[in-house]
Amino acid sequence: MDKIKAIFLDFDWTLFDHKVRDFNKKGIEGLKKAYENGVKLIINSARSNYSLKGLNTFNLLPIDGRIVSNGGAAIFDGKVLYADLFPINLSNEFIKLLNDNNFSYNIVTLENNYIKAANKDIVNDFYQVFYEPFPLDISLYKNEEVLAIQVLCYEKDEKLVKEFSEKHHLLYNRFAENNVEIATKEFVKSKGIETIYNYLNLKKDEAMAFGDDLNDISMFHIVKYGVCMGNGKDEAKKEAFYVTDNIENDGLYKALKYFDVIN
């Protein structure tokens, strides 16, 4: 097979096992060996940079690049290759609307997440279900450029938010019953991979991707060796080049061995 030069890695249920709320140790071990063999390691996650950092990802793994917010931005060796940011006047207008109407919300920037917890109950409900580092207080937000804004509200309370999104042609993505994410456009993981291909002069045949969910399918389509975890969604498995074992059975490590990325 072709020599693998880069591996793109989903986070949840691929690297991080939510049953035990910890990283799969054999997976981390295998990725470190791959890195020692000269393979570039790139996180490609729906999570923000703040979330990944807060879960200790970058201390556990020698990460060369990060594709964050489901493809909303790509960073390699500390250089921002692209970021689909809000125009600053538009994000400020939206934040004012949220403040004026007493919404709880989470601002996602390239480096940090900030929260205004106007309704403590809905905030607590969300963070009890989603295992996330709790954001910084909104008082620390100093007009940074914004990648996405997550409004913590139920469908019955979303009218103003939806109207604003439609008026400004923003993407409206309700990903939980109590949280909707607003961004300038649809984020896809494959965009980050394509950007890093161009930056590193990599070919599709030299890349591998690991994932488990529907948003990982775009990754599988743009690399030659798309590997779906055994615990993954059936739709993702159908689009993968190879299906490995479950995360708790060291599926990532086993696939690295199977493809001779590590000995």
Residues 102-136 pLDDT 10s: 999 999 999 999 999 999 999 999 999 999 999 99
- Strand, helix or coil for residue 110: coil
Q: Among the three residues 121, 153, 183, which one is the final residue of a domain in this structure?
A: 183
Question: Are the CB atoms for 175 and 137 separated by under 8 Å?
Answer: no
Q: What is the rounded average pLDDT for all residues in the chain?
A: 97
> pLDDT tens across 128-160, in order?
999 999 999 999 999 899 999 999 999 999 999
Q: Among the three residues 183, 210, 234, which one is the final residue of a domain in this structure?
A: 183
Per-residue pLDDT, averaged over 231-256, amounts to 98
Per-residue pLDDT, averaged over 12-26, amounts to 97
Question: Are the CB atoms for 210 and 229 separated by under 8 Å?
Answer: yes
Distance CA 231, CA 23 (A): 15
Q: Where are the beta strands (DSSP E) in 46-188?
A: 65-68, 73-76, 79-83, 104-108, 113-116, 136-137, 148-152, 171-176, 179-183
Domain membership of residue 151 (yes or no) is yes
Per-residue pLDDT, averaged over 57-78, amounts to 97
Q: What's the longest Cα–Cα distance across the chain?
A: 59
Domain membership of residue 12 (yes or no) is yes
What pLDDT, on a 0 to 100 scale, did the predictor assign at position 150? 98
Residue among 4, 14, 10, 50 nearest 192 (CA): 10
Q: Is the pLDDT of residue 234 over 90?
A: yes
Within 8 A by CB and 6+ apart from 214, the residues are 233, 235, 236
> pLDDT tens across 165-212, in order?
999 999 999 999 999 999 999 999 999 999 999 999 999 999 999 999
Residue that has been written with the tokens 């591996």 in this structure: 7
Q: Is the pLDDT of residue 83 over 70?
A: yes
Domain membership of residue 1 (yes or no) is no
Q: Tell me if the pTM is above 0.75.
A: yes
Domain limits for position 145? 89-183
Q: Do 174 and 191 sit in the same domain of this protein?
A: no
Q: Do 224 and 238 sit in the same domain of this protein?
A: yes
In angstroms, what is the C-alpha Rg of the chain? Answer: 19
Per-residue pLDDT, averaged over 227-244, amounts to 98
Within 8 A by CB and 6+ apart from 149, the residues are 86, 91, 94, 95, 98, 105, 106, 107, 108, 181, 182, 183
Distance CA 19, CA 231 (A): 12
Domain membership of residue 263 (yes or no) is no
Distance CA 5, CA 34 (A): 9
What pLDDT, on a 0 to 100 scale, did the predictor assign at position 1? 59
What pLDDT, on a 0 to 100 scale, did the predictor assign at position 210? 98
Q: Do 202 and 73 sit in the same domain of this protein?
A: yes
What are the backbone angles phi and psi of residue 227, rounded to the nearest 5°? -115, 120
Q: Do 211 and 244 sit in the same domain of this protein?
A: yes
Q: Is the pLDDT of residue 2 over 90?
A: no
Domain membership of residue 176 (yes or no) is yes
Q: Among the three residues 183, 211, 236, which one is the final residue of a domain in this structure?
A: 183
